[in-house]
Amino acid sequence: MANKVIHKAGTRGSADHGWLKAKHSFSFAGYYNPQRIHFGVLRVLNDDTVAGGMGFGKHPHDNMEIITIPLEGSIEHKDSMGNHGVIKYGDVQVMSAGTGVQHSEFNASQKDPLKLFQIWLFPNKKNVQPRYDQVTLDVNDRKNRLQEILSPKNDEGKIWIHQDAWFSMGKFDKDFAVDYAIKRKGNGVYLMVIKGDVTVNGEKLNERDAIGLSETDTISIKADSQDAEVLVMDIPMEFSAN
């Protein structure tokens, strides 16, 4: 039987800075929960709402794989590698911080709120050369299927990170069901319900609830409401970085 943890939406850490309203699935900044430091290599899953014209000024990162997924609105990104662009709904952004990088992230709109997930994974290789990439995906390709949005470096032609991790997103009609086969032996899955209600391995979950499953080969997902959306993170449970 699979090992599991369930993180209900209301049990997450929270921060309200006025311009930023954040929910933290794992210990972050002023939120500390010794039972929620990480799940496998998943260190941070922040669910942020940023007011129009506001954002995060230039700040540093190192030795972390950072994934940004806009849910509503657009982000303006600048970094010390010379990248400058706008990431919108349907895009996925990755940044390997490696030996060190500085970046800023602002709501690209002066009036509309920005909603996003920012996710940090521990890398499988330390002190790599910093890198940046982004991709625009057709969100229609996740209708009643799991659309892979991220994979390891050895998957040619796909957006990748320095970790044996695969991310997928799906948007399902009510009663649609799918089984997900874990990609790598020893990996687990952390599934976040973005919207609606779903049942995962028999556990009923609502919007922004999450479940972590390990020591299993497959998981079952069934939509209990129309237009239910999920993010599936297939990640190593054991890790070390050289």
pLDDT (mean) for 57-82? 96
State the Cα–Cα distance between residues 93 and 194, nearest whole angstrom.
Answer: 18
Contact 41, 239 (CB under 8 A): yes
Higher confidence at residue 53 or residue 239?
A: 53
pTM for this prediction: 0.96
- Tell the CATH topology of 3-236: Jelly Rolls (2.60.120)
Point out which residues pair with 101 in neighbouring strands. Answer: 61
Is the per-residue pLDDT at 133 higher than 80? yes
Could you report the per-residue pLDDT of 159-206, keeping only the tens digit for each?
A: 999 999 999 999 999 999 999 999 999 999 999 999 999 999 999 999
Q: How far apart are the C-alpha atoms of 122 and 177, rounded to whole Å?
A: 31
Over its C-alpha atoms, the chain yields an Rg (Å, rounded) of: 17
**Average pLDDT value for residue range 141-168:** 91
49 within 8 A of 114, measured Cβ to Cβ: yes
Both tokens of 120, joined, read 């940090």
Return the number of other C-beta atoms located less than 10 Å from residue 109's C-beta: 16
3-class secondary structure, 223: strand
Q: How many CB atoms lie within 10 A of CB 195?
A: 16
Domain extent listing, the chain: 3-236
Cα 59–Cα 47–Cα 113 angle in degrees, nearest 5: 85
Per-residue pLDDT tens for 70-110? 999 999 999 999 999 999 999 999 999 999 999 999 999 99
pLDDT at 241: 60
The fraction of the chain above a pLDDT of 70, given in percent, is 98
Residue 40 DSSP one-character state: T
Three-state helix/strand/coil letters over 125-187 = CCCCCCEEEEEECCHHHHECCEEEEEEECCCCCCCEECCCCEEEEEEECCCCEEEEECCCCCE
The least confident of 148-152, 231-235, 236-240 is: 236-240
**What is the greatest pairwise CA distance in the chain?**
49
pLDDT at 9 over 80: yes
Percent of the chain with pLDDT over 90: 95
Assign 47 to helix, strand or coil: strand
- In this prediction, residues 208-217 reach a mean pLDDT of 97
Over the chain, what is the mean pLDDT?
96
